[in-house]
């Protein structure tokens, strides 16, 4: 059954929050504690990548087999260190996020969920630290697939399972701060919403022609007007 409701799928890092380097620090600590390797993250693409893909890249960088066992061991260590690292770094919820989430939560025609490269436990550690985890009904995570472009299908299926309705591509909005978020949205035909609050400038995001492009999400009425027009 089709519906007029809209599904908003949010990325986390650089879109909802910045962890102030806690994630990077946890990766470095995980490589040291689990594999005895000194890591500097040079040559590793973090923005827009899934945790699983990052873990495999780190292992391969040091000549370690990117086996399921090694990848799981590294990710488990990363999550342990992430829990310790959050309070040691000065991150924050990005400007405008709380008012926007509050406004969307109050709308009967809006469903808000996550679509992120984070593992579900990592997402909960990060968002829980800043008190915003409970805004989101469900999500698609790196646990589901290492390829970010596959995650939209999981989010869409969970939305249908939870609400008993089918969300058409034009009713789905994928919101993120990297070109990979734009690609991920396009993979399911969704509308793409790019935010220049991460490592990519407004100009560089514009080169990828998202459906919506914001410098930030600070002006809640303007953002809502654009998305619901």
- The confidence score (pLDDT) of residue 1 equals 45
> What does the domain layout of the chain look like in residue ranges?
6-19+92-228, 22-88
8 A C-beta contact, residue 181 and residue 48: yes
| pLDDT beyond 70 at 2 | no
| pLDDT beyond 60 at 43 | yes
- The confidence score (pLDDT) of residue 3 equals 63
Range list of β-strands (E), 44-125: 92-93, 110-115
Name the nearest CA neighbour of 118 among 178, 48, 172: 48
8 A C-beta contact, residue 192 and residue 198: no
Name the nearest CA neighbour of 34 among 7, 62, 6: 62
- The confidence score (pLDDT) of residue 48 equals 81
- Count of beta carbons in the 10 Å neighbourhood of residue 51: 28
31-34: list long-range contacts, CB under 8 Å, 24+ apart: 31/58, 31/62, 31/74, 33/77, 33/81, 34/73, 34/74, 34/77
pLDDT in tens, 132-186: 999 999 999 999 999 999 999 999 999 999 999 999 999 999 999 999 999 999 9
| pLDDT beyond 90 at 204 | yes
pLDDT in tens, 163-174: 999 999 999 999
- Enter the pTM of the model: 0.94
Q: Return d(Cα 119, Cα 180) in angstroms, integer.
A: 17
| pLDDT beyond 50 at 65 | yes
8 A C-beta contact, residue 124 and residue 79: no
**Fold exhibited by the domain 6-19+92-228:** Rossmann fold (3.40.50)
């Amino acid at each position: 059954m089709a519906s007029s409701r809209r599904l908003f799928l949010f990325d986390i890092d650089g879109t909802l929050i910045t962890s102030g380097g806690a994630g990077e620090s946890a990766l470095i600590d995980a490589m040291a504690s689990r594999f005895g390797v000194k890591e500097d993250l040079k040559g590793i693409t973090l923005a827009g990548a899934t945790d699983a893909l990052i873990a495999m890249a780190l292992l391969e960088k040091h000549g370690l087999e990117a086996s399921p066992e090694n990848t799981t061991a590294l990710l488990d260590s990363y999550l342990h260190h992430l829990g310790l690292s959050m309070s040691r770094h000065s991150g924050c919820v990005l400007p405008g996020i709380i008012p926007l989430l509050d406004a969307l939560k109050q709308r009967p025609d809006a469903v808000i969920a996550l679509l992120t490269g984070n593992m579900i436990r990592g997402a909960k550690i990060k968002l829980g630290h800043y008190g915003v985890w409970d805004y989101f009904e469900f999500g698609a995570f790196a646990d589901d697939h290492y390829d970010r472009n596959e995650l939209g299908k999981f989010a869409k299926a969970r939305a249908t399972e939870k609400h008993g309705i089918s969300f058409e591509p034009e009713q789905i909005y994928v919101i993120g701060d990297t070109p990979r978020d734009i690609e991920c949205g396009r993979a399911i035909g969704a509308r793409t919403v790019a935010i220049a609050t991460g490592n990519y400038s407004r100009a560089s995001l514009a080169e990828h022609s998202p459906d919506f492009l914001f410098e930030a999400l600070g002006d809640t009425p303007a953002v809502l007007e654009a998305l619901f027009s």
